[in-house]
Amino acid sequence: MAKSKPGKKDLDSYTIRGTDKVVHPGDCVLMRPSDPDNFPYVARVEKIEADQRNKVNVRIRWYYRPEDSIGGRRQFHGARELFLSDHYDVQSAHTIEDKCVVHSFKNYTKLEDVGSEDFFCRFEYKVLTGGFTPDRVAVYCKCEMPYNPDTLMVQCEGCKDWFHPACMDMTIEQAKTLDQFLCLDCAADDDTKRSPNSFPVSSMLEPKARFEYLVLP
């Protein structure tokens, strides 16, 4: 932990006002927005510090929502997706409203239940340039879009690629009634002539839809 300036001391924790929730450096928190009609901001606490008057401040690293980034929200961004930015700040600890959890993308897709405190992050974001790390990500389906965990996808038995039912001219309801799925290309090459409109239910990427990259150049 970095050494504090003279007259200030580092704290190991801070209890959110009016609660019994304890914040430590490294925790993710919801910060009170300047406009009460907006969603809370999300940040990672880097350091907790008290001055001579025992006023507690936190050094934080902001998470950006897709709509706050250059290029804005795209259809493949999840509703709970955040970007870890290179924007650091110092705020009064009293502006912390609650704790939250920012999962890795992989861990988020494994959640059985998504709560209001759950978010995920798969990119770091450079505020001034709009650049992302990593700058490339896998794409799927004939629409060549990255995986959005809020959207159902089905896997082709042949090529093992993942597809959106709508891109295969199927509704989600139709897709869920079938046993197997072959994309059109694989169906054309399949010796057994299996139906191109079927898929194994076990081979579905279930959406995180309880809530309401190709990376930009």
Nearby residues of 217 by Cβ (< 8 Å), 6 or more positions away: none
pLDDT of residue 152 exceeding 90, the answer is no
> What is the rounded end-to-end Cα distance, in angstroms, of the chain?
36
pLDDT, tens digit (0-9, with 9 covering 90-100), for 171-180: 988 888 878 8
Q: Which two tokens stand for residue 142?
A: 């004939």
The answer to whether 123 touches 83, Cβ cutoff 8 Å, is yes
DSSP string of 66-113, one letter each residue? GGGSTT---TTS-TTEEEEEEEEEEEEGGGEEEEEEEEEHHHHHT-SS
Which of 173 and 4 is assigned the larger pLDDT?
173
pLDDT of residue 200 exceeding 60, the answer is no
Structural domains of the chain in order of their starting residue, each with its CATH number: 9-133 (2.30.30.490), 137-217 (3.30.40.10)
Q: Which pLDDT score, from 0 to 100, does residue 213 have? A: 33
pLDDT of residue 131 exceeding 50, the answer is yes
Which of 195 and 65 is assigned the larger pLDDT?
65
What average pLDDT does range 58-84 have in this prediction?
A: 95
Question: Is the whole model's pTM more than 0.75, yes or no?
Answer: yes
